Structure 1
Amino acid sequence: MFWKSKRLEEALQNLMVPLPAGTVELRDDRIKQQWEEIIQPFWLAKFPVTQELFKMVTDSNPSTFLGDQRPVETLSWKEAADFCNLLSEQAGLASYYVVSKTSEAIKFDAKANGFRLPTEAEWVYACKAGTTGIRYGELNDIGWYKQNSQKQTQPVGLKEPNSWGLYDMLGNVWEWCSDVYDQTVYGSYRIIKGGGWCDEERGCMATNRRRSHPTSFRIDDLGFRLARNREENENAGTNSAKTFSF
């Protein structure tokens, strides 16, 4: 990669974790359906995007609860996608999203090597990390939720990670995913996963799926996490998660 900022390059060292190929079962309790999806190897950030990283890239911070190591929140899906494109540009990578300035229509280049949001299937697969339950550990040990969050977000990485080294997958902030929820019923609404600091225990499960409007919905318990496609030369010889350095 060609970085425009040495400081940004250093901030992203060891952030992205390569995840192996596999399959994951998804379900939607609203329509009483479940299905299985194949997951290709991909990169996923070990933490939600922090306010420090967001400010470094955009020179702005929309968050309600301020703190460099807290997750950035109170931003729309489109603003998260715009961030991914801007970070890709600063890293010398191909932008994943093609965002229209005049409509809610969003196109993407599935083969682009730039930063993006994970799909719902990728997110669930990463969250479970080979486990089969609704959580990868006891919630009080792995996440910030209503009973332990002190009614606000908390700095990332303070709770226990899952077995693939991913932190804050449940609790702290909900996370935007790339996918449309149900275009026939909800139009352009996008999926959000993971539960947040103000949710009861039942809200913080890998299987929960919610949705909201991609351009107008912003709330103080909703952020996002970076993903990237893995290129062929990055996949060779990699069968399990390990830390990736740019």
Structure 2
Amino acid sequence: MDIEFSAIDGGTVELHDARRKIRRRVELEPFEIGVYAVTQSQLGELLGEATDDGLSHPDRPATDVSWLRAIRFCNAASEWEGLDAAYSYDGEQVTWHVDSDGIRLPTESEWEFACRAGSTAAQYGPLADVAWTSLDGVTSPQPVGGKHPNLNGLFDTLGNTWEWCWDFLDPARYDDYRVFRGGGYADDTWSVRASVRRGGAPRMHHEDVGFRVARGGFDAEDAAQGWSARADRERATNEGPTPFGWTPLR
């Protein structure tokens, strides 16, 4: 089982928190990220859970994969490669060991920086050339690598399938929902942009949500690459402005 990675140099990316009307600049250290989304065949090979679709379409991105299942895949891939696991579990509570060199999900800062590949536009190229979207009229995810890559050599970061990241979506409103990014094969163009954020509960799975993996450990504790446990706790509060019609958790 082989996962191809692209080495991403460090740099700066700006993220937007729409609810709190905050823009923040994140300084990133170098890391690696998958050239392709994890495929059906890779998921089946490591977790032994190949679907019928995976048997007939092994090069399609693995979809209907929950965030928790993606985490399981990461630890299995680390074990396969002889690396320290990036994650440990306490029930469904997952801890990221930031100093681990194991395979993991990207933070959303890493994901957006790698997706943009130096572009400040909504997309890094014409969608017809770089992304499977509703414009193509397809009815399922397409085999990975069928469109042009971005300047980091990454395929399908926009379109084809949404991709899980490590981060919480908005814990004050959505509790344990995790972020997915990038847009899918059935999405309209306004949704297939480098900055668009959506998310779901860790056990949720959808026909257009998959994931790609990252790699890289950091000399820190509970904080790395735009994420920190402290920031998660702060974002779980209801302080600050809220959108019209917004209902916080009770």
Pair in the same fold by TM > 0.5: yes
Counterpart residue identity of residue 183, structure 1: P
Counterparts of 2:19 and 2:139, CA distance in 1:
29
Shift of residue 31 of structure 1?
3.6
The aligned counterpart of 1:32 is 21
1:77 to 67, 70, 73: 67
Asked if 1:17 corresponds to 2:2, the answer is: no
Distance 2:218 2:23 in 1: 30
Q: Note the residue ranges of structure 2 that are not aligned, 5 or more in a row.
A: 220-250
- Equivalent residue for 1:227, pick from 214, 219, 222: 214
**Cα contact 2:100–2:217 (8 A) shared by 1:** no
Contact 1:55/1:61 (8 A) holds in 2 = yes
Is 1:46 paired with 2:46?
A: no
TM-score (norm 2): 0.83
Structural RMSD (CA) = 1.7
Q: CA deviation at 1:61?
A: 2.5
Question: How many residues are paired up?
Answer: 218
State the partner residue of 1:125. 113
1:40-68 per-residue CA deviation (whole Å, 9 max, x = no partner) reads 10000100001111111112124757511
Q: Secondary structure at the match of 1:153?
A: coil
Larger relative contact order (C-alpha < 8 A, sep ≥ 6)? 1
CA distance in 1, matches of 2:52, 2:155: 20
Identical-pair percentage: 37
Q: Distance in 2 between matches of 1:109 and 1:96?
A: 5
CA contact (8 A) 2:116 2:123 kept: yes
3-state SS in 1 of match to 2:136: coil
Q: Secondary structure at the match of 1:211?
A: strand
Checking the alignment, whether the CA contact within 8 Å between 1:25 and 1:35 is kept in structure 2 is: yes
Q: Per the alignment, do residues 110 and 149 of structure 1 end up closer, same or farther by CA in structure 2, a change over 3 Å counting?
A: farther
Shift of 1:177: 0.1
Q: What is the CA–CA distance in structure 1 between the aligned matches of 2:101 and 2:129, rounded to whole Å? A: 34
**1:83-108 residue CA offsets vs partner (Å, 9 max, x unmatched):** 000110111100001122x3x32111
Q: Deviations over 1:194-214 (max 9, x none)?
A: 000110111100010011101
The corresponding residue for 1:137 is 125
What's the secondary structure of 1:18's corresponding residue?
Answer: strand
Tell me the residue number matched to 1:197.
185
**Structure 2 counterpart of 1:112, from 64, 83, 100:** 100
Note the alpha carbon deviations across 1:160-215, whole angstroms, 9 max, x for none: 00011000000000000001122222211100100001101111000100111012
Letter in 1 for 2:50: N
Output the TM-score relative to the length of structure 1: 0.84
Q: Does 1:166 align with 2:154?
A: yes
The answer to whether the 8 Å contact 2:12/2:113 transfers is yes
Contact 1:119-1:179 within 8 A present in 2 as well: yes
Distance change in 2, residues 1:29/1:64 (3 Å): farther
Map of 1:218 onto structure 2: 205
* C-alpha separation in 1, matches of 2:169 and 2:79: 28
